[in-house]
Amino acid sequence: ERLCLQADLPKPRVAIAQTPMPNAFAMGRSQKHATVCATTGIMELLSPSELEGVMAHELSHVINRDVMIMTIASFFASVASMILNFGFLFGGGGWGDDDEEGGGFLPVILVSLMVYVISFFLMQALSRYREFAADRGAAILTSRPSALASALLKISGTMERIPSQDLRTAEGLNAFFIIPAKTKQSIAGFFSTHPPVEQRIARLQRLEQQLQGTIGAAA
């Protein structure tokens, strides 16, 4: 409640997921219809200040309307995917023919494929940017970037020890998790919805130094 008051945000619905996997996420189409969920695993793992940092991160997603933004951003990829599926089902038989049955559909397939690939990579890049923004928002909201950095380190370390089968069952929520449930890192991070934990921690450490410098200058 205190974080919501500080952020001038309507209190979201709070849920607890009964799972040992340490994670948290926020969902909802608007600030007034949002849900913030934490697992029992993360509540047992983190200290109160670290858990506050995680909750502030999720509230920052709500403040920034990230779920709505990512839904809108996925529109072009979804349309391109539907066109591709339609083309494979109904246009594939005539790709090699220069007739009206299928040959004319090949350019549409190629353009749709290009749009889908470009949209996919742009969405992943946007998602990574939104995670950085939520980290920064949480750090400013709590005035303790180091607490969130410590939480990210603990969560990622614990996630690495979770069986691969358990991680795969949770991969559907990867885009929403504070730390994705992955069995291995994506090539160069291009396919990842989240920045590397090391980069996130480094940015939080720099922000901690900036905030301390500001406080020192004010004193």
Q: Is 58 tagged catalytic?
A: yes
Neighbours of 18 (CB within 10 A): 7
CB 45 within 8 A of CB 155: yes
Which residue among 50, 52, 58, 208 is the active-site one?
Answer: 58
Residues with Cβ < 8 Å from 1, sequence gap 6 or more?
11
CB 186 within 8 A of CB 31: no
Rounded to an integer, what distance in angstroms lies between the CA atom of residue 207 and that of residue 187? 28
Closest CA relative to residue 21, chosen from 212, 194, 166: 166
SS3 for 36? Answer: strand
Rounded to an integer, what distance in angstroms lies between the CA atom of residue 2 and that of residue 25? 19
Do strands 13-17 and 34-39 pair parallel, antiparallel, or not at all (unpaired)? parallel
Buried b / exposed e over 127-140, threshold 16 CB at 10 Å, is bbebbebbbbbbbb
CB 16 within 8 A of CB 37: yes
Which residues are the active-site residues?
58
